[in-house]
Amino acid sequence: MVISKLGIVAASQTLAAQAGAQMLAEGGSAADAAIAANATLGVVEPMMNGMGGDLFATVWDAQTGKISGLNSSGWAPAGLTLARMRSKGDQTMPQSGIDSVTVPGAVRGWEALHQKFGRLPWADLFQPAIYYAEHGFPVTEWIAGQWRESQPKLEAGPNARQVYLINGHTPAMGEVFRNPAYASALRLIAEQGPDAFYDGAIARAILATSNRLGGVMTAADLSAYQPQWVTPLSTTYRGWTVYELPPNTQGIATLEMLNLFSHFPLGAWGFSDPRSWYVETEAQKLAYADLYAYDGDPRLVQVPSGGIISRAYAAQRVKKIDMSHAGCNVSPGDPARFNSDTVYLSAVDAQGNIVSLIQSLYQEFGSGVVVDHYGFALQNRGALFVLDPHHPDVLAPHKRPFHTLIPGFMQKGSVHIGFGIMGGLNQAQAHAQFVSDIADHGMDIQAAMEAPRFTNPSFGGCTFFVEDRVPPAARKLLRQRGDTLTLGSDYSDVVGGGQAVMFDSASGVKYGASDPRKDGEAIPQPIPLPH
């Protein structure tokens, strides 16, 4: 772990973490640091995030102890309707292209964070990102590999080819990449504020790009968008209170998994005990069956979140776990009967305020559509809608799709942890494993971030990807009881990469952790030098 009395920023790329730490050194808050780090990530890790994507954050205020949640996920254009997709002959949502694009929420999310928790001038937060976009940066190891895998998507569009390929190839590790068009967009936002994106020159470029490709986004779709402050949901687990954001995120699945874990003595069994791994994989199947069946935009559909995360529901649901045979065709439960009320980085400042922030384009380079003149990709979050009119996540105008992004937070006594682990549907199950590693097995945040993980890449079934550091006895037991395992390398980004910060309010000491499955680092706030 990185340990300091001052602030710490942990991000998936070192230059971005450093940008955040620099804001702390200038007197900025954790929110300022998070915005600067996130804006820089859009430059240095462009396949994963950028201003064309969405944003979620959980903020813990050290002075008041209050926890706030920010849902800055965008909605479908008003013209992107079920009837439109049916008329085009689509049976499922496209995974790329202009019809997968939803309104980006990130820039309004930065604004909301800054207005409520920022200290530094807005324009200062974007200077590191502008610098790296203009002057260039050497591409790092993990990012170079992921960029290379995206070459076919980038070759498909003229803007993407021009911006993200160098002489027809993706940048190699150590090769300097520049994006002056993106620097222009960042400078507009720094100088004119978020309105440049939603009402100004960038908005006009987004609409021109969409129109050229046959899209349906309008000026009203962009200008009317606003993020939403929400109340995080929580459960208690082994004395810890664990918080996740409500739907349309998948945070309810993490909380349901933890409630199911609580019925088994995972700590007494131990981390290497095959029974621990079996229980966690079976709990994942139950929670994700409910996630698929019920999650959606709570502004437009009724989501039984309170029931899904209730202990009474878990006590009923846990009976479905057969310790002798894996459940491969798990059905959703009936949580409504129990209803009681839904690129990751983290930053902690010198005062102990914590921002847990996650932002993404969804799949690598999102929709593959790169905006004319401004060098950034638009997200493909619309790909997560379904075209079944009876499903809670059915496509509808100005509806937010089911969202994989979740920023995590947990606390016990004087210890407060902001954490997150990336990777689509991997996130909720990775959060639950991280919490268990700390609460059941006594790991510190760096050990828990490095611990071997499993992931089921879909909503159902008995197919799991596991790192080869998962104990052989556990892998044997899972196979014997009916699961199919794909064995990965010792540190695989298939199970996601994450970051975490921790603040002990009793001692005033901060801690940072960074996942070796990414190019990131936890960087402490430097001390000010006398001038």
Q: Which residues are catalytic?
A: 342
DSSP 141: H
User: Which tokens sit at 50?
Assistant: 């950028």
Tokens 């591409």 appear where? Answer: 139
Q: Which helix (H) or strand (E) holds 86?
A: helix 82-87
CA distance 403 to 382: 10
| Beta strand 415-421 pairing with 454-455 | unpaired
DSSP 122: G
Q: What number of helices (H) and strands (E) belong to the chain?
A: 20, 19
φ/ψ of 48, rounded to 5, equals: -100, -30
Cβ contact 82:396 at 8 Å: yes
Radius of gyration of the chain (CA): 22
CA distance 387 to 87: 12
| Beta strand 137-138 pairing with 176-177 | antiparallel
User: Which tokens sit at 51?
Assistant: 């201003």
Cβ contact 486:463 at 8 Å: yes
SS3 of 452, please?
coil
SS3 of 258, please?
helix
User: Which tokens sit at 60?
Assistant: 């813990």
CA distance 511 to 531: 29
User: Which tokens sit at 32?
Assistant: 């300022």
CA distance 196 to 191: 9
Side-chain-facing half-sphere of 88: CA atoms under 13 Å: 14
SS3 of 524, please?
strand
CA distance 440 to 261: 10
Task: Name the burial class of residue 329, with classes exposed (0-12), middle (13-18) and buried (19+) by CB atoms within 10 angstroms of its CB.
Answer: exposed
Count CB neighbours of 466 within 10 A: 24
Cβ contact 456:284 at 8 Å: yes
CA-to-CA separations, 301 to 53, 304, 389, 440, in angstroms, rounded: 23, 10, 12, 36
Of 103, 55, 297, 108, which is closest to residue 215 (Cα–Cα)? 103
CA distance 435 to 239: 11
CA distance 167 to 158: 13
Q: Which amino acid is at 454?
A: F
User: Which tokens sit at 438?
Assistant: 């700390």
DSSP 13: B
